[in-house]
Amino acid sequence: MLAIKGLLKQSGIISKLLLLLGATCFFTIIGIVFWKIFTNGDITDIKSLKLMQLVQSVGMFVIPPIVVAYLWSEKPILFLKIGEKMKWMNAIFIVVFMIIAIPFINLLGDFNQQMVLPKAFAGLEAMMKASELETAKVTEHLLTVHTLTGLLFNIFLIAMLPALGEELFFRGVLQRIFQEWKGAVAAIWISAFIFSAIHFQFYGFLPRLLLGAFFGYLLLWSDNLWLPILAHFINNLMAVVFFYLKYNGYQVFDIDTIGTGYTFWLGWISAFLVIVGVLLIKRMQISKSNSINI
């Protein structure tokens, strides 16, 4: 095994993209086969659905970045920028930042949902809306639990695992590949675009695009993937916890609407604070390193 560590470190951009795509397809297919063996492909059963979510997250986003990092570098941990611990002050700052950003994210989502395509694309628009509704139904089905154990598992499955896997894939590997090709800024936005598009939730494309870009800049400025992972996790965590509280009868405000409608002014205040926060994060430049050759 040690003999193949860093074996493909001289690979070109196209070769790296093809290897990443191939590894993703390979481990995703293995995950689907595993899921079908144990569930008979039944997507109506919640346990089966959650197992599918688990094997897809691991097979599509967690394993492939680790495998390709092992092949491309003799120091895969450093390659993925997960070798350095987070400073607790930086972690607290990111947590507070993501909470403050919620109204702004909702405001962007509200703008996005008002998108109307030209009549010539009416069929496409209908397909997009149908896809959005179906995704919302599946997500609600996954989130619906009544026990603390169910909540904790959902936090792992829907908040922690996607945050870890998607950041390893999109920021840890894909952004790095594009950075070698087009430079840091272009790499951030290309990766963010793919990150948003691959979710196939067209009416949430804009906020997810900007979130992906923020995660990318956070990695660029800190040189530590744990910070984007934490930011991503907090964003997911808030959705999981508030859905659980609301669904189980707790008197909480609707976190998905704050910053829209009558509270749109909170969205604009949040936008201002987000801009200030981003400037502060850029100024901090924690453990920044421009080196991409490990």
pLDDT tens digit sequence for 66-121: 999 999 998 999 999 999 888 889 999 999 999 999 999 999 999 998 877 787 77
Helices (H), the chain: 13-39, 46-57, 63-72, 76-79, 88-100, 102-113, 122-143, 148-154, 161-166, 175-182, 184-197, 205-222, 226-247, 264-284
Q: Measured between alpha carbons, how far is 110 from 211 in angstroms, rounded to an integer?
A: 15
Residues 6+ apart with CB under 8 A from 42: 48
pLDDT, position 95: 96
Record the tokens describing residue 237, joined without a space: 């965590």
Where the chain has pLDDT below 50, the residues are 1, 287, 289-294
**CA pseudo-torsion sign 219, 220, 224, 225:** positive
Hey, what are 202's tokens? Answer: 């067209």
Neighbours of 132 (CB within 10 A): 16
At 12 the pLDDT is 87
User: Which residues make Cβ contacts (< 8 Å) with residue 146, sequence separation at least 6?
Assistant: 248
Question: Which pTM does this prediction carry?
Answer: 0.91
Q: DSSP label at 85?
A: P
Q: Give just the sign of the alpha carbon dihedral 70, 72, 75, 80.
A: negative
Q: What is the pLDDT of residue 285?
A: 64
What pLDDT sits at residue 291?
Answer: 39
State how far the Cα of 123 lies from the Cα of 127, in Å rounded to an integer.
Answer: 6
State which amino acid sits at residue 236: N
CB 178 within 8 Å of CB 191: yes
Chain position carrying tokens 């604009």 = 268
Identity of the amino acid at 272: F
What is the structure's pLDDT at 117? Answer: 73
pLDDT for 2: 55
